Amino acid sequence: MTFDASGRLPEAFLTPGGTSFMDFLAGHAPDLLPGRRSLGQADFSDQVPHGTTIVAITFAGGVLMAGDRRATMGNIIASRDIEKVFPADEYSAVAFAGSAGFGIEMVRLFQVELEHYEKLEGTTLSLDGKSNRLSALIRGNLAMAMQGLAVVPLFAGYDHDRLGGRIFSYDATGGRYEETSFHSVGSGSLFARGALKKLYREDLSATDCATVAIQSLIDAADDDSATGGPDMLRRIFPVIGVVTADGYQRLPEDEVATLVDAAWAQRHERPDGPVSASLT
Amino acid sequence: MSTPFYVSPEQLMRDRADFARKGIAKGRSAIALQYADGILFVAENRSPALHKVAEIYDRMAFAAVGRYNEFENLRIAGVRLADMRGYSYDRRDVTGRALANAYAQTLGAIFSSGGEKPLEVEILVAETGATTADDQIYRLTYDGSIADVRGYAVMGGQAEQVAEYVGEHYSEGISLAGALRLAVDALGHDSTEPRELTSDQLEVAVLDRTRTQVRKFKRISEETLARILSESQPSADIEAATEEAAANASADDTPAVTAVDDDDAPIAPPEDPDDTRPL
């Protein structure tokens, strides 16, 4: 990054250009962008922390996203209280699975990208616009993804045109896929998705969805060693972000604790979790 | 061989300053005012799309008068600088002082360089702090001079007249409604004939430190503005002028109206307290 010694704004700042902060960095301070660094040929998948399971569920009037709190480095638990769900802007949330360092950097850059656009243009991007910007960000990280440093985000937000929550998933190459009802990414996602399939109903309230998310994360932790279940001893519980027409809100810690305690108590009766209501 | 005319540096600078001042004087004024919960910006601006007041960062805003293309370019540069700093360091490390300095250096360098035309702009960089005492307002002129102002700042064509009116009526810790009424009245006092400005001629925004969001900047919509203004009376001379115009200057020598204090009485909150949506 170059700040003029005289204190004068550098020419690049005063040059008319686009509304993208990423593009501005690419031209002016490319070293600040992830994905521009050369790593050699090594495989880093076991040497840096990786975040694990994220779930997102839509409900009438919004969408909810939840993430477990574990980061792993090979067989080591690198962190038991990492946060992987963030507000992207006022009306959307973003979470990541994969390389934690790049994931957090990507989330920060994405947050600035959206805010920068909003300030320059005086209006917010459409939800599709936001999700496409995230695609571009992931694509910039492709070389790293090939060396075991992939970041796989999940993006969800409230769409003011369609008046409801929407979920977008991505692959490591930046492919963007809209999901219906619910989705999960990360190492424990297969198990979480199984649970979501059985527990999800269209008429669930936001609170019920939070319970479904917690149950699916417990199931993921049950079968995937890289996913952390609720830490009952340290009282570390999943981060749950809810986006509605009123904006992003992180579910307060005590509310999550109440839901987790209820789910945990139920698991004492039946360790495999709630059974599906009917077989027909 | 012709000898170039000698122009003394004083004359050169004076000419450049006159040029910039003339450009700025063509525009309508803008005011920034400290009120109890933050900083209020009011600009006379008939365009709902081309803003004179804008958000820079969490606690910082920008206001300008003069040539739109020039101050818009400075605004964008400011947003880039703030976002870049916030991204490289931390959100708390983005300060109004740094931005005001960068603007001052830029304006000063352009003003004194022979190759560039001086910018015909005046700008304000304002930052709210935790309390009124921590608020900062920097006023920058076309030549890069910078002033740290307290209370209120006025820029634009008739800045002196407007500032005089604000100075007479301003008090520290004024409410938002009171500050808004004062600013609107002051903008109407930019000539010998006071006028009453309506909500569609104004652009209003606040840096409200009581906002729960990190970003404290909020525009006040035309509807909200009209509602707040309808709950207070314009100053007596504006009212008199308006009535006079309405009565088609009917010769009825009304007794001199005693100046009514600007309505600073508590009124309905400026915004729905449950409305926490941004902007």
Q: What is the CATH number of the domain that holds A236?
A: 3.60.20.10
- Sign of the C-alpha dihedral computed for residues A48, A38, A32 and A1 taken in this order: positive
CA-based angle A106:A107:A108, to the nearest 5? 90
The reply to whether A8 falls in a domain is no
Which residue in the set A4, A7, A21 is minimally distant from B83, CB to CB?
A21
Beta-carbon separation of B54 and A119 below 8 A? yes
Please check the confidence at residue A11 and state whether its pLDDT lies above 60: yes
Mean pLDDT along residues A125-153: 89
Residues of B in contact with A112 (CB under 8 A): 83, 86-87
pLDDT at B251: 47
Mutation for B interface: A2, A8, A23, most B CBs within 10 A: A8
CA distances from A101 to A104, A122, A143, A144, A151 (A): 5, 31, 15, 12, 9
Collect contacts of B196-201 with beta carbons under 8 A, ≥24 apart.
B196/B234, B196/B238, B196/B239, B196/B241, B196/B242, B197/B44, B198/B226, B199/B223, B199/B225, B199/B226, B199/B229, B200/B46, B201/B44, B201/B45, B201/B46
Beta-carbon separation of A120 and B79 below 8 A? yes
The reply to whether A276 falls in a domain is no
pLDDT grade for A276, boundaries at 50, 70 and 90: confident
A29 at the B interface (CB within 8 A)? yes
Beta-carbon separation of B277 and A90 below 8 A? yes
Mean pLDDT along residues A225-238: 94
Residues of A in contact with B55 (CB under 8 A): 119
The reply to whether A138 falls in a domain is yes
pLDDT grade for A55, boundaries at 50, 70 and 90: very high
Residues of B in contact with A29 (CB under 8 A): 84
User: Which positions 76-95 of B are in contact with A (Cβ < 8 Å)?
Assistant: 76-77, 79-81, 83-84, 86-88
Separation between Cα atoms, residue B224 and residue B206, nearest integer Å: 13
pLDDT at A188: 93
pLDDT over 70 percentage in chain A: 96
CA-based angle B271:B276:B279, to the nearest 5? 75
* A13, closest residue in chain B (CA to CA): B77
Residues of A in contact with B101 (CB under 8 A): 7
Mean pLDDT along residues A124-150: 88
What positions of A carry a catalytic annotation? 52
Separation between Cα atoms, residue B198 and residue B222, nearest integer Å: 9
pLDDT at B257: 38
* B76, closest residue in chain A (CA to CA): A120
The reply to whether A9 falls in a domain is no
A21 at the B interface (CB within 8 A)? yes
Separation between Cα atoms, residue B100 and residue B83, nearest integer Å: 15
pLDDT digits (tens, 9 = 90+) for A60-101: 999 999 999 999 998 999 999 999 999 999 999 999 999 898
Beta-carbon separation of B56 and A109 below 8 A? no
* Nearest Cα to Cα of residue A214 among A192, A232, A194, A233: A192
A120 at the B interface (CB within 8 A)? yes
The reply to whether A179 falls in a domain is yes
Residues of A in contact with B113 (CB under 8 A): none
Q: Is residue A100 within 8 Å of residue A71, measured between CB atoms?
A: yes
Which residue in the set A1, A14, A28 is minimally distant from B73, CB to CB?
A14
pLDDT digits (tens, 9 = 90+) for A148-176: 788 899 999 999 999 999 999 999 889 99
Q: Is residue A124 within 8 Å of residue A89, measured between CB atoms?
A: yes
Task: Please count the structural domains in chain A.
Answer: 1
Instruction: Order the strands of the A54-59 sheet from edge to edge.
Output: A182-185, A54-59, A62-67, A239-244, A247-250
How does DSSP assign B22-79, residue by residue? HHHHTSPPEEEEEETTEEEEEEE---SSS-SEEEEETTEEEEEEE-HHHHHHHHHHHH
Residue A232: partners with Cβ closer than 8 Å, 6 or more residues away: A264
**Residues of chain B under the 70 pLDDT cut:** 1, 242-279
- Sign of the C-alpha dihedral computed for residues A254, A259, A265 and A267 taken in this order: negative
Beta-carbon separation of B83 and A115 below 8 A? yes
Q: Is residue B64 within 8 Å of residue B123, measured between CB atoms?
A: yes
pLDDT at A170: 95
pLDDT at B1: 62
A247 at the B interface (CB within 8 A)? yes
Beta-carbon separation of A119 and B56 below 8 A? yes
Beta-carbon separation of A9 and B77 below 8 A? yes
Q: Is residue B137 within 8 Å of residue B39, measured between CB atoms?
A: yes
Q: Which fold has domain B10-174+198-232?
A: Glutamine Phosphoribosylpyrophosphate, subunit 1, domain 1 (3.60.20)
* B48, closest residue in chain A (CA to CA): A122
Separation between Cα atoms, residue A75 and residue A73, nearest integer Å: 6
ipTM: 0.89
Which residue in the set A1, A119, A247 is minimally distant from B88, CB to CB?
A1
B140 at the A interface (CB within 8 A)? no
Separation between Cα atoms, residue A209 and residue A59, nearest integer Å: 7
Separation between Cα atoms, residue A273 and residue B278, nearest integer Å: 40
B55 at the A interface (CB within 8 A)? yes
A122 at the B interface (CB within 8 A)? yes
pLDDT grade for A3, boundaries at 50, 70 and 90: low
pLDDT at B247: 60
Q: Is residue B102 within 8 Å of residue B123, measured between CB atoms?
A: no
Task: State both tokens at B98.
Answer: 């740094």
CA distances from A73 to A45, A50, A55, B170 (A): 8, 6, 21, 61
A32 at the B interface (CB within 8 A)? yes
The reply to whether A14 falls in a domain is no
Residue whose tokens read 């495989």: A43
* Nearest Cα to Cα of residue A198 among A180, A178, A174, A182: A182
B47 at the A interface (CB within 8 A)? no
How many other C-beta atoms are found inside a 10 Å radius of the C-beta of residue A235? 11
Beta-carbon separation of A246 and B277 below 8 A? yes
* Average model confidence (pLDDT) across chain A: 91
pLDDT at A5: 61
Cα dihedral B223→B193→B261→B27 (10° resolution): 50
Beta-carbon separation of A116 and B276 below 8 A? no
Mutation for A interface: B45, B62, B69, B83, most A CBs within 10 A: B83
pLDDT at B271: 43
Lowest mean pLDDT among A14-18, A77-81, A108-112, B119-123: A14-18
* B217, closest residue in chain A (CA to CA): A119
Q: Is residue B85 within 8 Å of residue B93, measured between CB atoms?
A: yes
Residue A62: partners with Cβ closer than 8 Å, 6 or more residues away: A158, A164, A165, A206, A242, A243, A244, A245
pLDDT at B113: 84
pLDDT grade for A52, boundaries at 50, 70 and 90: confident
Domain region containing A256: 45-269
Three-state secondary structure readout of A144-203: HHHHHHCEEEEEEEEECCCCEEEEEEECCCCCEEEECCEEEECCCHHHHHHHHHHHCCCC
